[in-house]
Amino acid sequence: MNKGTYGAVGWRRCGTAIVLTVSLSLSVTVLVAAGSVAGASARGTQASSSGSVTVSYDFNTQGGMSFDPVNTVTGLNGYLQHLVNGGLFWNNQDSSVRPDLASGYSIPSPNVLEVTLRPNLTFQDGSPLTATEVKANIERNGLAGPTAVSNLVKYPANSAGGGLQSIDVVSPTKIRFTEVGATAGALVLALGQVSGVMVNPKQFNDPNLKNAPNGAGPYKIVSYTPGTELKLTASDSYWDAKNTKIKDVTYVQNADTGTGPTQGINRVTTGEFDYFNAYFADTASVLAASKGTVKAIVTPSESQYTWFNICKQPYKSLTADTVAGLADVNVRTAMNLMIDRDGLNKSLFAGKSEPRTQNWLTSSPFYDAKAAKSFTYNPTKAKQFMAKSAFPNGFEFTVVNNSTPISDRIAQYLQQQWSQLGIKMDIITSLNIAADWFVGLKGPAVETNFIGIQSYKLINTYNSTDGRNNACGFGGQQQYVDTLEATAPDALKTLTTTWQASAEKVATDQSEIMTVWNLNQALYNTDKIAKVAIVLDGLGREQFDPTRSTLK
Q: 417 — phi, psi (to 5°)?
A: -65, -45
Residue 509 and residue 355: Cα distance in Å, rounded? 19
pLDDT top residue among 380 and 77: 380
Calpha distance 464→159 (Å, rounded): 14
Beta bridge partners of 219: 234
| Least reliable range by pLDDT among 29-33, 261-265, 452-456, 484-488 | 484-488
Rounded CA gap, 88 and 505, in Å?
A: 37
pLDDT of 247 reads: 96
Predicted confidence (pLDDT) per residue in 50-82, tens digit: 899 999 999 987 678 889 998 887 778 889 999
- pLDDT for residue 218: 97
% residues pLDDT > 70 (the chain): 80
| Rounded CA separation 499/517 (Å) | 18
Q: Is residue 480's pLDDT more than 80? A: no
* pLDDT of residue 25 exceeding 90: no
DSSP 3-state percent helix, strand, coil across the chain (nearest 5): 25, 25, 45
Question: Cα dihedral angle (434, 440, 445, 447), rounded to 10 degrees?
Answer: -20
| DSSP letters spanning 501-520 | HHHHHHHHHT-SB--BEEEE
pTM: 0.74
Least confident of 162-166, 375-379, 419-423, 494-498: 494-498
Rounded CA separation 454/357 (Å): 16
Give pLDDT, residue 4: 28
327 or 21: which carries more pLDDT confidence? 327
The pLDDT of residue 222 is: 97
Least confidently predicted of 315-324, 325-334, 467-476: 467-476
Instruction: Give me the DSSP letters along 489-505.
Output: TTHHHHHHHHHHHHHHH
Share of the chain above pLDDT 90, in %: 52
Calculate the alpha carbon distances from 361 to 316, 358, 516 in Å: 34, 8, 10
Predicted local distance difference test score (pLDDT) of residue 128: 97
Which of the residue ranges 50-64, 363-377, 465-479, 487-501 would you say has the lowest mean pLDDT? 465-479
Selected residue with higher pLDDT from 95 and 340: 340
**Reported confidence tier of residue 315, pLDDT bands at 50, 70, 90:** confident
The Cβ of residue 402 has, within 10 Å, a number of other Cβ atoms equal to 27
Question: Tens digit of pLDDT for each residue in 359-377?
Answer: 778 887 778 899 899 999 9
The reported pLDDT for the residue numbered 314 is 84
Strands 424-430 and 517-525: unpaired
Q: What is the mean pLDDT of residues 207-221?
A: 95
Band (126; pLDDT cuts 50, 70, 90)? very high
Task: Tell me which of 219-228, 392-401, 469-478 is least confident.
Answer: 469-478
Q: What is the pLDDT of residue 451?
A: 61
Tens digits of per-residue pLDDT, 398-444? Answer: 999 998 878 899 999 999 999 999 999 999 999 888 789 878 889 99
User: Could you give the angle at which helices 341-349 and 405-419 cross, rounded to 10 degrees?
Assistant: 150
Q: What is the pLDDT of residue 299?
A: 85
Nearest to 22 by CA among 548, 487, 509, 374: 487
CA separation, residue 360 to residues 16, 97, 168, 542 (Å): 11, 21, 37, 18
Set out the domains of the chain in order of their start, with CATH numbers. Answer: 9-43+54-213 (3.90.76.10), 301-518 (3.10.105.10)
Strand 424-430 with 275-277, pairing: unpaired
Q: Taking residues 216-233, what's their average pLDDT? A: 96
- Stretch 106-114: mean pLDDT, rounded? 89
Burial (CB count <10 Å: 0-12, 13-18, 19+), residue 370:
exposed
Query: Please, what is the average pLDDT of the chain?
Result: 82
For residues 358 and 372, what is the distance between their CA atoms, to the nearest angstrom? 7
